[in-house]
Amino acid sequence: MFTGLVETIGTVAALEELDQTSTGGGGTSLTISAQEILGDANLGDSISINGTCLTVTEFDKSTFKVGVAPETLRRTNLGSLKKGSPVNLERAVSASTRMGGHFVQGHVDTTATIQSVTPDGNALTFRFKPRDPAVLRYIVEKGYVTIDGASLTVTKVEDGPEGWWEVMIIAYTQEKVVTAAKKPGEDVNVEVDQVGKYVEKSVAGYFEGTANGEFAILEKMVSKLVDERLKTVGK
């Protein structure tokens, strides 16, 4: 679990498509240079790389290695990284972490393409078009969305097959995340707010009669709201 508050920007030291070492597992591996976050590192730790939760398989004082599964390569933009590419990094939350962003799983839903970057004073407004338009139902104005691992607030949404959304990146954040330097046509990793998914499944379960105990609290909330609404309509 992460907060979406990027701790530092690291650099890709190596990307191996067929890493046959014991820490590469015979698949794709990434080695990241990031001395700032490795002081308390342990093997098996989770670190978010551009919003993707990955497991540390090897590390030293200045670099760490992670394996990248085929599903991760299909779902994210990590496969397009090259040696020297900057990446957003965040360690998993601890008991003392302040939740300044929102609950981020590090499970990327899809990628999105930057449609435009528009200056607004000292801020930048980014417009994104998702590869999978279905995620737009989870994106609402003033809600959260995770872009390359950074928790950002949605400022505008346009639904539909050609839909998009916008976020504004303030001057301070521009210096702390890789997204601010990206240009139209480049891709970003996207994770939508997980609460929307749970609510959707709970509501669907309520109306289909297939709800189970996993979402009992939400089911009770939805049931109460629906019943109250039906009583109001019936009057």
Query: Does the annotation count 123 as an active-site position?
Result: no
pLDDT in tens, 199-217: 777 777 766 766 565 556 6
Active site residue 3: no
pTM strictly above 0.85: no
232 is catalytic: no
Which residue among 14, 69, 134, 216 is the active-site one?
69
Catalytic residue among 21, 62, 116, 153: 153
Rounded to the nearest integer, the mean pLDDT of the chain is 89
The catalytic position among 2, 59, 128, 215 is: 2
Contact between 214 and 220 (Cβ < 8 Å): no
Assess whether 215 carries a catalytic annotation: no
Check: CB of residue 126 under 8 Å from CB of residue 167. yes
Active-site hit among 62, 107, 171, 181: 107
Question: CA 40, CA 111: separation in Å to the nearest integer?
Answer: 31
Please confirm, yes or no, whether 69 is among the known catalytic residues: yes
Give the Cα separation of 58 and 175 in Å (integer): 29
> 124-140 burial by CB neighbour count: b if 16+ within 10 A, else e?
bebbbbbeeeebbebbe
The rounded distance, in Å, linking the Cα atoms of 117 and 128 is: 9
Q: Which of 11, 46, 113, 155 is labelled catalytic? A: 46
> Which one is catalytic: 21, 55, 116, 223?
55
Q: Does residue 113 have an active-site annotation? A: no
The one catalytic residue in 34, 53, 112, 211 is 53
Is residue 149 within 8 Å of residue 140, measured between CB atoms? no
Q: What is the pLDDT of residues 80-137, one digit of tens each?
A: 999 999 999 999 988 777 767 678 889 999 999 999 999 999 999 999 999 999 999 9
Q: If you compute the radius of gyration of the chain from its CA atoms, what whole number of angstroms results?
A: 20
Q: What percent of the chain has pLDDT over 70?
A: 90
| Catalytic site includes residue 97 | no
CA quadruple 11, 75, 167, 195: dihedral sign: negative
